[in-house]
Amino acid sequence: MNSQTQERITVNPDQCGGRPCIRGLRIRVSDILEMLAAGESRDSILADYPYLEAEDIQAALLYAARQFDHPTLKAA
C-alpha cells in the first residue's frame, strides 16, 4: 500500500469484524465498492456520506485493485 492508502484504509480487529474501513470510520471498503458497482456516482456517495472525502473513494479502489494484483501459483 502507498502512504495515501495506508492513511485512509484502516484495519482494526475490534471494528467491522476486522474488515478494511475508511479512516477508522464504520464504513468498509467493500461498502464503497458495492455502491460503485451498483451504479452510484462518486458525487452521490459523497453527498450521502458527508464525512467521506473523494480521496477515500480513490483509496478504496486502489486498495481493492492491489488485493487482486498478485501472482497465483499452481501446484505441480
Q: What percent of the chain has pLDDT over 90?
A: 76
- DSSP-derived letter for residue 60 is H
Report the amino acid identity of residue 8.
R
Domain ranges across the chain: 3-67
- What is the CA angle 76-67-70, rounded to 5? 30
Give the tens place of pLDDT for each residue, 39-72. Answer: 999 999 999 999 999 999 999 999 999 888 777 7
Q: Using CA atoms, how far apart are residues 68 and 45, in angstroms rounded to an integer?
A: 24
Measured from the Cβ of residue 35, the count of other Cβ atoms closer than 10 Å reads 19
Average pLDDT, the chain: 90
pTM reported for the whole predicted model: 0.82
Give the CATH architecture of domain 3-67: Orthogonal Bundle (1.10)
